[in-house]
Amino acid sequence: MANEQAEVLDDNTLSEIIPFTGVPQVQVQDQNNLLATGQTLQKAETKFMTAVKVQEPRQIARVSKNVLAEAKLAGSHFYYRWEVKTKNGRKTVQGGSIDLAMCLLRNYGNCVIDVDVDVDEVPGQYIFKAHFIDLESGLTVTRLFRQRKAQNLGKRMDAEREEDIVFQIGQSRPNGT
What ranges do the domains of the chain cover?
A: 59-108
129-162 tens-digit pLDDT? 888 888 888 888 888 888 887 776 666 777 777 7
Instruction: State the pLDDT at residue 16.
Output: 66
CA distance 135 to 111: 5
Strand partners, 145: 128
b/e burial code for range 108-129 (CB count within 10 A of at least 16 → b): ebbeeebbeeeeeeeeeebebb
Contact 105/113 with Cβ under 8 angstroms?
yes
**Of residues 57, 66, 47, the one with CA closest to residue 106:** 66
pTM above the 0.75 mark?
Answer: no
